[in-house]
Structure formats: C-alpha cells, structure tokens
Amino acid sequence: METKGKTKFLSVWHNVKYSWALKPKTSFSRNSPVLLLGKCYHFKAEEDEGQTEACREASDEEGVMGNVEDFRRDFGSRIWLTYREEFPPLPGSSLTSDCGWGCMLRAGQMMLAQALLLHFLGRDWTWSGAMSLQPLDTETWTTSAAKRLVASLESSLQASPGPSDPVVSQRQVAGSGEEAGVHTDGGFHRTLVSWFGDSPSAQFGLHRMVRLGLAMGKRAGEWYGPAVVAHILKKAVEEARDPCLAGISSYVSQDCTVYSADVIDSHKASASAAAERPDVTSSSHNSQPASASPDSRAVIILVPVRLGGEKTNPDYFNLAKSFLSLDYCIGIIGGKPKQACYFVGFQDDSLIYMDPHYCQSFVDVSTSDFPLQSFHCPSPKKMPFTKMDPSCTFGFYSRSAQDFERIKHELTELLQPSAKEKYPAFIFVQGHGRDYDLSASLSPEKREWPFIRDPRRSGSTVGDFVLL
C-alpha cells in the first residue's frame, strides 16, 4: 500500500515538475492557414471568400481543408507517446518510469510512428475515435493544485482511489476509447500502437530504445539529444523482427550530408525481404498507399542538424515551415531549451507540437483490447519559432528509389541558402559516404560529431542537446 501511495504522489508531482500546464485551449487564427504534416487547413467560416496565398501554394488540388473538425480529426489521429510509469524495469537500471529524462526518446517514437502510419495506412488515414478524445483534465497543474491532490491521495491510501486521483482518472479516460468505436479501424492501428508499448518485447518500445542507447554510451535516466535518438531509431528499425516491418528501413545523414547512393542502397532489398503489408480494412477516409516494388523497401530519412549557435537562426524558420508543408515530412524532433517535443506543423510564426511531458500509467499492450485513447493527444500546443532549440532532427519518408529522386530534387530546391543564411541546413551529394573517406576509422555514430558526444569524454560539446 505504501508503494502504491508513493506512485500516486509521484504521478502528481511529475506532472507539476515536468511542464504539463493544461492551458484552457490553444488559440488559432482564422485568418492564416494551418499546416499539419503536409496538409493545409483554414479555419475561416464557409461563407468567407477566398484562401490565403500561403494556403494555395501549400495545397495540391484537394490539399486544403476548410474546417476545424477536419484539423481536429487529423491531429487526434497522430500517435501520441508520453512519459509513463509503473512499467517493467528498463535495461541496465531499476527505473520503472521515464519522467524527467525520456522526452526526446518519446518525441523520436512519435516521429517513427508517423512514418509507419504513412507506410501502412497513408497520409489520409484518420482514427475513428479522434473526435471523441476528452480533455486530460479541467484544472491547470499548479503548486496549489498539486498540494490539494497530494493531500487527497494521502488521505485515501487506506481506501479505494477517489475520482480526484490523476492516475485513475487517466485510466478511466483511456477506457472510454472502447466506447469511441476503436474497433472500427480494422485492427492494424492497434497493432501499430502496440509496437510502441512500454515492455521489453515491443518492437519500438522504450525498453528497446534504452537498450540500443546503451551501445552509444547512454543509460536510462540520462538525457538524450535528437541526433542520438536518430541513430537509436535507425537501429530499432534495422532490428525489428515483425514480418510487417521487413519492407521499411532507415538512414541517418552524416555531418549534415545525405549521400544519395547510401539512401538508394537502403531502398534495395532481396526478394525474401519484400515488403509485407497487413490486411487493413478500407473506409471512406482511409487512403491505402500504393505498394512499393516487391524488391524494394521504404526508407525513413533522418537528418540531424544544428540551425544556429545558442539560438536558432531566424533565417531557417522558413525552411522549417517548408519542410512541414510536405506530405512526406514526418516532422521534426527537437524542442525548446530543457524540453523536447515533436513538431508537426505551424501557423504564422508559431510551431504546432505534440508534448510528451505528461505522465500516464503503464498500459499493457499485449492484451487484444487495450485502450487506445491515451495514445492520442486531445489538443495541440503552439510555440513561437524563436523559442526553438537549434539542435533538431528532420524526418522524411521515401517509399521507393524513384520517390527518393523526387524528394531529393524538391528538398535541394528548398535548401538553396538565401543571402542571409550563407549555408544550407544540410546538403545532398552523389555517391556513398565512404567514397569521401570521412572519418573512415570511426563508427557511424562517431562520424556525427559534433552532434554526438564520445561517452569516454567528460563534459559536453556544442552539439549536445540537454533536455528534461
């Protein structure tokens, strides 16, 4: 009983300490387009005439959506992965929660989840329960609120948990997902979410990420940067054992350089490793992507960059906007100082992001009917571009080698530096990385200097991205 009470106390305290401030609602302008991972939405009333120039430029023939509900449905369908507690101990430690240190790993998981949604379900897919998501709480987490909740918890330790218990409340909210019709998405949505469960057997779960991080000198409880997480994601995709994942691979750029021949090699696969796709039930809003060639794989392209010194260079803001306007962009993992988040869109001069800083209870994804609602975010958050930390990782999804040629051409055009920028954020070059004899004696991870720290060195480098 004492352990249970301590867990409840920590849940309250973690949500106070690690920055989940439940503001009333995120404000959006009705006069500017909203871009969400390549889709453009406008919140003007239907009788308003015309669209803004930016929205027209960002859209293809049917790329512009005209109401708030479509945006809510789209945003609520993205996979949301947050701090959890009460899961099995992590490799090499006795930790059973990632509160306070695992936010960048969670952001990386969310970006990988978006790539898998694109790969298996297509960009137009939405979850049937997205519109029934409930607010996480009705009260902002403040010190006084925390004290009241802790007092309530302490007084109820010998009794059944009360309705004010944040952990129990979250479970109750999550359970309501079954009433939201979560069984109508054909089942694969649930399978995909289960790959990110907090158990040692999950393909892309926190336990797997921590285990892979150990080889890079990172241990559970330490802070991870966006470049380190990019390499962890690559290793996780390479080691995935589920047959459904045979048709996808990952590539991480070297020193802000994407070597085209290396990406093309990542696309190649033997016939035995042909892409296997699950049987997904089609619906009116499910878009099934075209199957890749049976002898090729899709590639998740991850590009760690640093967009300035102490602060992000404002000249790169438009570049980030351009990337988030592309339907093959899977987002940006980065954050603001001491807080990691997953950037998925923007409006005007503010980024739209999904926040991992909310401590939820462990969900056993091995059951056939585990609740899905706690894996979807009920509301977006916004942050000015000026607060964006310069260290981040861009993510893109390439379905085939032919697709990559188009992506390379489009990104190269966008990466052309302006007179102010002087240098592109990253570049594409022909050939393989080894052709340029770049630090040939070093491991792939060490070639990423200055983004990845040598674990044998004390202190930090300019590229370290220390986050809570």
Residue-wise pLDDT tens digits, 276-303: 444 443 333 333 344 445 568 999 999 9
Between 382 and 338, the more confident residue is 382
pLDDT for residue 224 is more than 90: yes
DSSP 3-state of 304? strand
| Bridge pairing between strands 84-85 and 360-361 | parallel
pLDDT digits (tens, 9 = 90+) for 301-359: 999 999 998 899 999 999 999 999 999 999 999 998 778 999 999 999 999 999 999 99
Q: How far apart are the first and last CA of the chain?
A: 30
Between 380 and 148, the more confident residue is 380
Percentage helix, strand, coil, to 5, in the chain?
35, 15, 50
Backbone angles phi, psi at 243, to 5 degrees: -55, -30
Residue whose entry in the numeric block shows the structure tokens 């803001």: 317
Q: Given this model, what pLDDT does residue 298 score?
A: 97
Q: Given this model, what pLDDT does residue 352 score?
A: 97
Query: For 166-289, where are the E strands, in sequence order?
Result: 248-252, 257-259
Could you tell me which residues come within 8 angstroms of residue 127 by beta carbon, excluding any fewer than 6 positions away? 73, 76, 77, 182, 185, 189, 372, 376
pLDDT for residue 446 is more than 50: no
Could you tell me which residues come within 8 angstroms of residue 247 by beta carbon, excluding any fewer than 6 positions away? 119, 269, 273, 274, 275, 276, 277, 292, 297, 298
Q: Given this model, what pLDDT does residue 305 score?
A: 97
Residue whose entry in the numeric block shows the structure tokens 């999550």: 174
* Neighbour tally for 422: CB within 10 Å: 9
Q: Given this model, what pLDDT does residue 406 score?
A: 97
Structure tokens at 116: 């898998």
Structure tokens at 367: 């059951």
Asked if residue 424 lies in contact with residue 417, where contact means CB atoms within 8 angstroms, the answer is: yes
Structure tokens at 282: 């089609």
The residues annotated as belonging to the active site are 103, 355, 357
What's the rounded mean pLDDT across residues 447-465?
A: 38
Q: Give the pTM.
A: 0.78
